[in-house]
Amino acid sequence: MANLGYVGLGEMGGLMVKRLMEKGHTVTGYNRTKSKAERLIDLGMVWADSPREVCEAADMTLSMVSDSNAVTEIAEGPDGLLAGLSTGKILIEMSTIKPGVSVAIAERARENGGDMVDVPVSGSQQTLREGKLSMMVGGRPETFEKVKPILADIGPRTTYIGENGRALAMKLAANISVAVQIVAFAEGVLLAEKSGVDRKTAVDVLTHSVMGSALVQYRGPFVLELPEQAWFNVNMMQKDLLLALELGRELDTVLPTASTANDLMTVSRGMGFADQDFAVVFKTLERMSGVTE
């Protein structure tokens, strides 16, 4: 069993820590707001007062926070992860951030004698609970082999993509499709409904038609009833879309459907849906089409 650390104990991070402890690993954790970690402390997680203390206590430290700025905040400075990193220690950074930020932190980690892999995830809280989360890994292949057993205790599928930053590019590529599929699904349901088809019937037909991907089948019903707690809210989806569009500009790659999906996320935020699951785009299209006020 491994001596692990975890920084960022939000919904996904907290579920991962719980899962890792259930697998028998020791976990030392930190979160900016300690109250959010109390449930994990009660389950046996060791509390640390800073990311540095987590890294000093662990052989491998995982982290998952909201964006590039948050990753930089937990990594840099006298109390950051890099300050606690020494020879042989490994950082497993699981946030979805700018690929260049990951590359820069990995270089710093190696200067300290350690290493870092970026491991963005594909899935949701429900996917993680069901043990179906998949992960992409960017970094040195030999480091991937070291962290692979730990990742296997989180989810069943881990794919090595290439050097640092490549896994993050892959994650952004995947999330374009996630956003666009749900937008297209919402458009289809709305068109059918305005043509006189019952909404539930439209959802049932589309989720079981040729376009009924795994994503559409489990998320399409959100058109009928949104979850009380967002699986992935509008703000987070737009963050990923903006990262993808930025990468597209850097690589001279045209991303027209990603751009359209991003515009709809902006409209959704303007309608007050920022904290709703991004499937709320159906409501956005409803209002734009005059179905609801």
Alpha-carbon dihedral sign for residues 214, 124, 122, 16? negative
Residue ranges with strand state E in 75-150: 90-93, 115-118, 121-122, 134-138
Structural domains in the chain, sorted by start: 3-162 (3.40.50.720), 169-288 (1.10.1040.10)
In this predicted structure, the answer to whether residue 174 has a pLDDT above a threshold of 60 is yes
Cα–Cα distance list, 183 to 114, 212, 222, 235, 266 (Å): 42, 13, 12, 15, 13
- What's the mean pLDDT in 58-67? 97
- Chain centroid to Cα 280, Å, comes to 18
Higher pLDDT, 137 or 229: 137
In this predicted structure, what is the pLDDT of residue 95? 97
Mean of the pLDDT values across residues 147-153?
97
pLDDT at 293: 56
Q: Average pLDDT in the 85-114 region? A: 97
pLDDT for 290: 85
CB 40 within 8 A of CB 186: no
Q: What is the pLDDT of residues 176-189, one digit of tens each?
A: 999 999 999 999 99
Report the SS3 class of residue 68: helix
Query: What is the overall mean pLDDT for the chain?
Result: 96
Mean pLDDT in residue range 269-289? 97
Does the pLDDT value for residue 48 go beyond 70? Answer: yes
